[in-house]
Structure 1
């Protein structure tokens, strides 16, 4: 792991920011959510994971990228039955992403990469990417979910038949990145098998069929999909390392174009 410090826009002076446009032409923007993560993990889990991984990539690339302002609140209406969840509409989230890009573009940046720890942001990021092709054809906009970059590692953990939100992969990452925020004594399995789900929820989790979006309280009584008690910090390190490797390799190739 690199011992370099990531270059964070928030910590630069305006003169240093002007210089960074040339030496760090890619802006990495961590995006997350403020939403329930079951009884044992913090509401900002997705934002925390995205920010940590952005910093690790920034350290790996040693000043060749700049970490931009985070997007701490995402698109989370499906979690609103659970206390503490805060959501933006897709319209608002898209507008904030675009305005981040437009602001930084005025200072000379043209390449942006959003790392999202929250799957609920994915559809909106796709829309923003398409819109920018028309509104700002000189901009290159990339985005990726974090956990999907390590899908092979996650599969190797022996995850539950039903897994995902607040389950094995997210919990493992938090045990690695921010263990002080995980209440391990409160971790509880949620929905772990298709047989546990009601008929409409089973239909929603059948990925080979049309997409059906349901609120999470109809998928899991405690907001968890999978068994967060079955993983370790070492599992999380494997996921994090795989994600950092994939992002760093992509950005390095992008910088060399």
Structure 2
């Protein structure tokens, strides 16, 4: 603290965006006009190997949402995060909590309907969990003919062109995801407990290998089928500097999209 003013309050005072949960109802009514875009971060509560917290996807969604809103300079508010996602493929690991796709979509429908009643018409969901993607795509179709704008985006795939020098098999709890956490929340990474999971296609069972095909029939498997620790890639190779590049570039690209959306 400095002069009786907590560091967190000084940080909040400097922000150019607002979190909906921190507003009074009068401030929220004003925000409908000044901040027409609602950003909704969604994550997951699921295993991330032995070295990262189960809130990893939620932390990443909030971290990127904050940065996107900062870049939009007051034109967006951030709704409270949805900390649970669609994670049946991680249920073999202790601590994982999964919503059904129907429940996940209904939570978002209700959040959006509530805020629509108050006047907001533009929504952007930022998901830190790939398991939410299919449901978000379905939800987006529902809103095509309604009087609102609904957009959604993942994080890592937005910057896939920057993910280089990684394992042949990588993804969940691997190099890119761990790098983002080392940048955003290093206190939630236990570096001495990071360990490689499946890193080459040769290591995968036939069902796991078939599920990784980019084209052709689709197959889903549990992450315990990929590897006993549920890890894809080698998180020991991750660095905070790599994470900074991925997070900040993702925020740049998503904010550029949102800027065009707001200008349309």
Q: What TM bracket, shorter-length normalisation?
A: over 0.9
Partner of 1:19: 30
Aligned residues of 1:4 and 1:60 also touching (Cα < 8 A): no
Among candidates 33, 37, 42, match of residue 53 of structure 2? 42
Partner of 2:170: 163
Q: Quote the Cα distance in structure 2 between the aligned partners of 1:63 and 1:15.
A: 17
Unaligned runs of at least 5 residues, structure 1: none
Matches within 5 A, 1:1-257: 4-134=15-145, 137-154=146-163, 156=164, 158-257=165-264
**Aligned-residue offset at 1:5:** 4.2
Q: Give secondary structure in 2 for the equivalent of 1:81.
A: coil
Q: Give secondary structure in 1 for the equivalent of 2:28.
A: helix
Q: TM-score, normalised by structure 1?
A: 0.96
Question: Please, which moves more after superposition, 142-151 or 57-66?
Answer: 57-66
Partner of 2:7: none
**Aligned-residue offset at 1:248:** 0.9
Q: Report runs of 4+ in structure 1 exceeding 4 Å deviation.
A: none
Q: Quote the Cα distance in structure 1 between the aligned partners of 2:261 and 2:212.
A: 35
Aligned residues of 1:73 and 1:86 also touching (Cα < 8 A): yes
**Aligned-residue offset at 1:149:** 1.0
Q: Quote the Cα distance in structure 2 between the aligned partners of 1:202 and 1:151.
A: 20
**Matched pairs, number:** 251
Q: Quote the Cα distance in structure 1 between the aligned partners of 2:17 and 2:233.
A: 33
Q: Quote the Cα distance in structure 1 between the aligned partners of 2:107 and 2:61.
A: 17
Aligned residues of 2:17 and 2:75 also touching (Cα < 8 A): no
* RMSD (Å), alpha carbons: 0.9
**Aligned-residue offset at 1:132:** 2.1
Question: Please, which moves more after superposition, 17-26 or 60-69?
Answer: 60-69
Aligned residues of 1:28 and 1:54 also touching (Cα < 8 A): yes
Q: Give secondary structure in 2 for the equivalent of 1:133.
A: coil
**Aligned-residue offset at 1:6:** 2.7
